[in-house]
Amino acid sequence: YAKDSWRFHPEWRLNFGTRWTSVLLSANFNETQFYDFSFSQVNQYHQAWSTSTSVVYTPRLNWSFSYLNGVGFRAPNLDDVAKVFDSQPGNVIVPNPDLEPEYTNTHELSARYKSEHIQLEAGTFFTAYRDAIVLRDFQVDGRDSILYEGQLSKVQANVNAQEALLLGGYMSVKIQGKHLELFQTLNYTYGDVLHPFQNIPLDHIPPLFGKGQLNYLQPRWKASFEWVFNGEKGL
């Protein structure tokens, strides 16, 4: 990998980084007593460039604004392509030797203000996926259900969705006085598969959540009150 930073103006700075990644995966299915798949091994080799570029604008001592663009990829790991397990009763996840890497293109805008007593930060981001890895219904040798630990279970596997998106925003506030200190964060994330599985939420997307803390400060002791909250986690 390589990275560099260039301050081409007193108020402007450009950061750039790049990485070349190669991933090799080889898995053999030696035991066929329980799962006799039509394939006996999975061999994959993937390589790609990842880049990150950001521009930071600092017009005043207390203010800074930034834009970031990142291009990345994630190659399937051993669990993604070769593991057999039950995600929940009645469902079984099976290997998919044809699973490909997912690629992302992310854009992020953020602003920050910092003074002696106040710190404010807010930002928004958008990520476009290509070949996103998602869990969907699958078939094994033309069957959509197989026996797993004595139970007829629906077959699922990790597959590639052509298009998906991830977007959201965040903010934080810190106010510090002589005896009182307040800190609050708020985060929101939304993810959805666009094609070919329309209106399917991306996995592992948290609901709206945040954390706050109020401190009362004295020279020899401190009292704190904290709160944590989150929105509903949809199905």
Type of residue numbered 74? R
| 195 neighbors 222 (Cβ within 8 angstroms) | no
According to the model, what pLDDT value does residue 117 have? 93
According to the model, what pLDDT value does residue 144 have? 87
Query: Which residue reads 């950001």 in tokens?
Result: 54
| 55 neighbors 109 (Cβ within 8 angstroms) | no
3-state secondary structure (DSSP) of residue 194 = strand
The pTM for the full model equals 0.86
Alpha-carbon span 174 to 121, nearest angstrom: 9
Alpha-carbon span 22 to 48, nearest angstrom: 7
According to the model, what pLDDT value does residue 14 have? 97
Distance of CA 201 to the CA centre of its chain: 13
Alpha-carbon span 42 to 27, nearest angstrom: 5
| The two three-digit tokens of residue 209, written as one number | 């959540």
Cis bond before residue 76 (omega within 30° of 0): no
| The two three-digit tokens of residue 197, written as one number | 């599985």
Q: Check the CA dihedral 56-52-173-170 and report its sign.
A: positive
First to last CA, the chain: 39
Cross-strand partners of 73: 103
List, for residues 59-89, the tens digit of each pLDDT value. Answer: 988 999 999 999 999 999 988 888 888 777 8
Position 186 confidence tier, pLDDT thresholds 50, 70, 90: very high
Q: Is the pLDDT of residue 139 over 80?
A: yes
Give the max Cα distance, the chain: 72
Position 33 confidence tier, pLDDT thresholds 50, 70, 90: low
More confidently predicted of 125 and 196: 125
Cα→Cα distances 201→15, 87, 121, Å: 33, 17, 28
Percent of the chain with pLDDT over 70: 97
According to the model, what pLDDT value does residue 24 have? 95
